[in-house]
Amino acid sequence: MSGQRKLNLKGYSNPLSPEGRAALVTPTPHHYGGHFIFVDYRADVDEVARYLPAPLEPDPTGRAFAIVDELVCVPGDNPELVHSNPERTRYTEGVVGLRCSYKGEPGTFMNAMWVSKDWSMTFGNFMGWPKKIARIHLTHIPPNHPTIRPLGVGSNLRGVVDREGYRILDVSVRLDKREEDTAAPTFGWLYSVRYYPEMSPSVPATKQLLRNRISNARAINVFSGEASVEFGYSDNEELEPLKPVEVIRGYSYNPCWTTAHSAELLETYE
Protein backbone atom coordinates (compact mmCIF):
# COMPACT_ATOMS: atom_id res chain seq x y z
CA MET A 1 0.00 0.00 0.00
CA SER A 2 1.49 3.34 -1.03
CA GLY A 3 2.07 5.80 1.78
CA GLN A 4 2.22 3.06 4.43
CA ARG A 5 4.32 4.16 7.38
CA LYS A 6 7.28 2.07 8.55
CA LEU A 7 7.12 1.09 12.20
CA ASN A 8 9.95 2.78 14.10
CA LEU A 9 10.00 0.32 17.04
CA LYS A 10 11.59 -3.14 17.00
CA GLY A 11 10.96 -6.61 18.40
CA TYR A 12 9.63 -10.04 17.49
CA SER A 13 6.63 -9.41 19.75
CA ASN A 14 5.18 -6.77 22.03
CA PRO A 15 6.41 -4.91 23.93
CA LEU A 16 8.29 -3.23 21.09
CA SER A 17 11.18 -0.90 21.92
CA PRO A 18 13.88 1.16 20.18
CA GLU A 19 16.39 -1.73 20.15
CA GLY A 20 13.98 -4.68 20.39
CA ARG A 21 15.34 -6.14 23.64
CA ALA A 22 12.04 -5.70 25.49
CA ALA A 23 10.14 -8.18 23.29
CA LEU A 24 8.50 -10.92 25.35
CA VAL A 25 9.08 -13.64 22.72
CA THR A 26 12.35 -14.48 20.99
CA PRO A 27 12.40 -15.06 17.21
CA THR A 28 12.05 -18.56 15.78
CA PRO A 29 13.51 -21.09 15.43
CA HIS A 30 13.06 -22.35 18.98
CA HIS A 31 14.94 -25.50 20.05
CA TYR A 32 13.39 -27.68 22.78
CA GLY A 33 14.44 -30.53 25.02
CA GLY A 34 13.08 -31.95 28.27
CA HIS A 35 11.07 -34.72 29.91
CA PHE A 36 7.56 -35.91 29.02
CA ILE A 37 5.02 -37.86 31.05
CA PHE A 38 2.71 -38.87 28.20
CA VAL A 39 -0.54 -40.85 28.47
CA ASP A 40 -2.16 -42.24 25.32
CA TYR A 41 -5.91 -42.87 25.63
CA ARG A 42 -9.23 -43.08 23.82
CA ALA A 43 -12.12 -40.68 24.40
CA ASP A 44 -15.67 -40.77 23.07
CA VAL A 45 -15.18 -40.12 19.36
CA ASP A 46 -18.37 -38.04 19.11
CA GLU A 47 -17.13 -35.78 21.89
CA VAL A 48 -13.71 -35.46 20.24
CA ALA A 49 -15.44 -34.36 17.02
CA ARG A 50 -17.22 -31.55 18.90
CA TYR A 51 -13.87 -30.08 19.97
CA LEU A 52 -12.27 -30.06 16.53
CA PRO A 53 -12.52 -27.04 14.21
CA ALA A 54 -14.02 -27.85 10.80
CA PRO A 55 -12.93 -29.48 8.58
CA LEU A 56 -10.69 -31.53 10.90
CA GLU A 57 -11.99 -35.05 11.45
CA PRO A 58 -11.35 -37.14 14.57
CA ASP A 59 -9.42 -40.36 14.59
CA PRO A 60 -12.12 -43.04 14.20
CA THR A 61 -11.19 -44.61 17.54
CA GLY A 62 -11.25 -41.32 19.48
CA ARG A 63 -7.51 -41.31 20.15
CA ALA A 64 -6.27 -38.53 22.41
CA PHE A 65 -3.45 -37.94 24.86
CA ALA A 66 -2.45 -35.93 27.91
CA ILE A 67 1.06 -34.73 28.74
CA VAL A 68 2.73 -33.05 31.69
CA ASP A 69 6.29 -32.03 30.94
CA GLU A 70 9.24 -29.82 31.74
CA LEU A 71 11.16 -28.16 28.90
CA VAL A 72 14.17 -26.03 28.08
CA CYS A 73 13.59 -23.73 25.10
CA VAL A 74 16.59 -22.03 23.49
CA PRO A 75 16.16 -19.42 20.71
CA GLY A 76 18.12 -19.97 17.54
CA ASP A 77 19.57 -16.45 17.57
CA ASN A 78 20.74 -16.64 21.20
CA PRO A 79 21.69 -20.18 22.29
CA GLU A 80 23.74 -18.77 25.17
CA LEU A 81 20.50 -17.62 26.86
CA VAL A 82 20.43 -20.98 28.66
CA HIS A 83 23.54 -19.78 30.52
CA SER A 84 23.10 -16.00 30.64
CA ASN A 85 19.46 -16.01 31.79
CA PRO A 86 18.26 -19.56 32.48
CA GLU A 87 14.93 -18.29 33.86
CA ARG A 88 13.97 -17.35 30.31
CA THR A 89 14.55 -20.84 28.93
CA ARG A 90 12.92 -23.29 31.36
CA TYR A 91 9.22 -23.94 31.95
CA THR A 92 6.64 -26.61 32.71
CA GLU A 93 3.59 -27.50 30.63
CA GLY A 94 0.38 -29.51 30.47
CA VAL A 95 -1.32 -30.58 27.22
CA VAL A 96 -4.50 -32.31 26.07
CA GLY A 97 -4.24 -33.30 22.40
CA LEU A 98 -6.71 -34.87 19.97
CA ARG A 99 -5.71 -37.11 17.08
CA CYS A 100 -7.32 -35.95 13.86
CA SER A 101 -6.86 -35.47 10.11
CA TYR A 102 -7.22 -32.76 7.47
CA LYS A 103 -8.21 -34.05 4.02
CA GLY A 104 -6.73 -37.41 4.92
CA GLU A 105 -3.50 -36.01 6.41
CA PRO A 106 -3.22 -37.28 10.01
CA GLY A 107 -2.00 -35.08 12.80
CA THR A 108 -2.84 -33.58 16.17
CA PHE A 109 -4.99 -30.71 17.42
CA MET A 110 -3.95 -29.33 20.80
CA ASN A 111 -7.26 -28.77 22.53
CA ALA A 112 -5.88 -27.33 25.78
CA MET A 113 -2.44 -26.25 26.96
CA TRP A 114 -1.10 -24.70 30.15
CA VAL A 115 2.38 -23.30 30.75
CA SER A 116 4.26 -21.70 33.61
CA LYS A 117 5.86 -18.80 31.68
CA ASP A 118 4.26 -15.85 29.90
CA TRP A 119 6.65 -15.96 26.93
CA SER A 120 5.65 -19.54 26.14
CA MET A 121 1.96 -18.64 26.40
CA THR A 122 2.34 -15.66 24.08
CA PHE A 123 4.29 -17.59 21.45
CA GLY A 124 1.68 -20.33 21.62
CA ASN A 125 -1.06 -17.85 20.85
CA PHE A 126 0.89 -16.66 17.80
CA MET A 127 0.81 -20.26 16.54
CA GLY A 128 -2.79 -20.91 17.53
CA TRP A 129 -1.89 -23.14 20.48
CA PRO A 130 -4.41 -22.42 23.27
CA LYS A 131 -2.08 -21.78 26.19
CA LYS A 132 -2.95 -20.45 29.63
CA ILE A 133 -0.76 -19.71 32.64
CA ALA A 134 -0.96 -22.37 35.36
CA ARG A 135 0.99 -24.12 38.10
CA ILE A 136 2.41 -27.36 36.68
CA HIS A 137 4.36 -29.96 38.66
CA LEU A 138 5.76 -33.35 37.76
CA THR A 139 7.84 -36.02 39.41
CA HIS A 140 11.51 -35.23 39.08
CA ILE A 141 13.94 -38.06 39.77
CA PRO A 142 17.57 -36.96 40.07
CA PRO A 143 20.18 -39.37 38.67
CA ASN A 144 21.78 -39.68 42.11
CA HIS A 145 19.70 -39.71 45.29
CA PRO A 146 20.04 -41.51 48.66
CA THR A 147 16.47 -42.86 48.80
CA ILE A 148 14.92 -42.51 45.31
CA ARG A 149 15.92 -45.20 42.82
CA PRO A 150 17.01 -43.99 39.35
CA LEU A 151 14.33 -43.44 36.73
CA GLY A 152 13.41 -46.71 35.04
CA VAL A 153 11.30 -49.84 35.37
CA GLY A 154 9.44 -49.62 38.68
CA SER A 155 9.34 -45.81 38.81
CA ASN A 156 6.05 -44.08 39.58
CA LEU A 157 5.61 -40.72 37.84
CA ARG A 158 2.90 -38.14 38.26
CA GLY A 159 2.11 -34.76 36.70
CA VAL A 160 -0.52 -32.24 37.76
CA VAL A 161 -1.89 -28.93 36.46
CA ASP A 162 -3.49 -26.42 38.86
CA ARG A 163 -5.10 -23.21 37.64
CA GLU A 164 -7.09 -20.53 39.45
CA GLY A 165 -7.78 -22.72 42.46
CA TYR A 166 -8.68 -25.91 40.57
CA ARG A 167 -6.69 -29.08 39.87
CA ILE A 168 -7.65 -29.64 36.24
CA LEU A 169 -5.30 -32.37 35.00
CA ASP A 170 -3.71 -35.30 36.82
CA VAL A 171 -1.69 -37.95 34.98
CA SER A 172 0.34 -40.85 36.32
CA VAL A 173 2.43 -43.70 34.93
CA ARG A 174 3.96 -46.76 36.62
CA LEU A 175 6.84 -47.78 34.36
CA ASP A 176 7.16 -51.51 33.68
CA LYS A 177 9.03 -51.75 30.36
CA ARG A 178 12.09 -50.25 28.68
CA GLU A 179 11.25 -49.37 25.07
CA GLU A 180 13.22 -48.68 21.92
CA ASP A 181 13.63 -44.95 21.30
CA THR A 182 11.34 -45.26 18.26
CA ALA A 183 8.42 -46.24 20.54
CA ALA A 184 8.03 -42.66 21.80
CA PRO A 185 4.74 -41.11 20.65
CA THR A 186 4.87 -38.71 17.69
CA PHE A 187 2.54 -35.89 16.61
CA GLY A 188 2.57 -35.61 12.82
CA TRP A 189 1.04 -32.39 11.54
CA LEU A 190 0.21 -29.90 14.29
CA TYR A 191 -3.16 -28.32 13.46
CA SER A 192 -4.23 -25.14 15.24
CA VAL A 193 -6.66 -22.23 15.06
CA ARG A 194 -5.07 -18.81 15.10
CA TYR A 195 -7.81 -16.59 16.50
CA TYR A 196 -7.82 -12.91 17.41
CA PRO A 197 -11.22 -11.32 18.12
CA GLU A 198 -12.66 -8.30 16.39
CA MET A 199 -11.71 -5.09 18.17
CA SER A 200 -14.11 -2.83 16.23
CA PRO A 201 -15.81 -2.74 12.80
CA SER A 202 -12.56 -1.39 11.33
CA VAL A 203 -10.36 -3.98 13.12
CA PRO A 204 -11.76 -7.38 12.03
CA ALA A 205 -11.17 -10.75 13.66
CA THR A 206 -8.48 -13.18 12.52
CA LYS A 207 -9.72 -16.78 12.24
CA GLN A 208 -7.29 -19.14 10.53
CA LEU A 209 -6.66 -22.88 10.47
CA LEU A 210 -2.91 -23.52 10.40
CA ARG A 211 -0.64 -26.48 10.34
CA ASN A 212 2.98 -26.86 11.26
CA ARG A 213 5.44 -29.72 11.58
CA ILE A 214 8.27 -29.79 14.09
CA SER A 215 11.75 -30.77 12.91
CA ASN A 216 14.81 -32.44 14.48
CA ALA A 217 12.43 -34.60 16.55
CA ARG A 218 13.91 -37.52 18.43
CA ALA A 219 13.54 -39.22 21.81
CA ILE A 220 15.75 -41.14 24.22
CA ASN A 221 15.27 -42.98 27.54
CA VAL A 222 11.83 -44.29 26.58
CA PHE A 223 9.90 -46.30 29.16
CA SER A 224 6.23 -47.30 29.25
CA GLY A 225 3.71 -48.63 31.71
CA GLU A 226 0.17 -48.61 33.07
CA ALA A 227 -1.25 -45.12 33.33
CA SER A 228 -4.17 -42.93 34.30
CA VAL A 229 -5.66 -39.58 33.27
CA GLU A 230 -8.11 -37.55 35.36
CA PHE A 231 -9.71 -34.21 34.54
CA GLY A 232 -10.95 -32.03 37.36
CA TYR A 233 -13.79 -29.52 37.25
CA SER A 234 -13.02 -25.85 36.66
CA ASP A 235 -15.31 -22.93 35.91
CA ASN A 236 -12.88 -21.90 33.15
CA GLU A 237 -12.24 -25.25 31.40
CA GLU A 238 -14.29 -27.77 29.39
CA LEU A 239 -12.37 -31.00 29.79
CA GLU A 240 -14.78 -33.53 31.31
CA PRO A 241 -16.33 -34.66 27.98
CA LEU A 242 -12.84 -35.67 26.81
CA LYS A 243 -12.30 -38.05 29.73
CA PRO A 244 -10.86 -41.49 28.89
CA VAL A 245 -13.08 -44.37 27.93
CA GLU A 246 -9.90 -46.45 27.70
CA VAL A 247 -6.34 -45.70 28.79
CA ILE A 248 -3.94 -47.34 26.34
CA ARG A 249 -0.43 -46.77 27.68
CA GLY A 250 1.74 -44.26 29.49
CA TYR A 251 5.27 -43.17 28.58
CA SER A 252 8.24 -41.40 30.07
CA TYR A 253 10.89 -40.10 27.69
CA ASN A 254 13.27 -37.27 26.88
CA PRO A 255 12.26 -35.57 23.62
CA CYS A 256 13.83 -32.80 21.60
CA TRP A 257 12.65 -30.86 18.56
CA THR A 258 12.77 -27.54 16.72
CA THR A 259 9.84 -25.23 16.02
CA ALA A 260 10.78 -23.20 12.96
CA HIS A 261 9.34 -20.43 10.80
CA SER A 262 7.21 -22.87 8.79
CA ALA A 263 3.49 -22.53 9.59
CA GLU A 264 1.11 -23.09 6.67
CA LEU A 265 -2.31 -21.42 6.22
CA LEU A 266 -5.00 -23.99 5.40
CA GLU A 267 -8.34 -22.23 5.87
CA THR A 268 -9.70 -18.77 6.64
CA TYR A 269 -12.98 -18.68 8.55
CA GLU A 270 -15.74 -16.09 8.34
d(CA 234, CA 57): 27
The pLDDT confidence band at residue 2, using thresholds 50, 70 and 90, is: low
Buried b (16+ CB within 10 A) or exposed e, 197-226: eeeeeeeeeebbbbbbbbeeeebeebbbbe
User: CATH assignment of 30-268?
Assistant: 2.40.400.10
Q: What angle do CA 118, 115, 148 make, to 5 degrees?
A: 130
User: Which sequence spans correspond to the domains of the chain?
Assistant: 30-268
pLDDT digits (tens, 9 = 90+) for 147-176: 999 999 999 999 999 999 999 999 999 999
d(CA 120, CA 80): 18
pLDDT digits (tens, 9 = 90+) for 63-99: 999 999 999 999 999 999 999 999 999 999 999 999 9
Whether pTM > 0.85 for this model: the answer is: yes
pLDDT digits (tens, 9 = 90+) for 83-92: 999 999 999 9
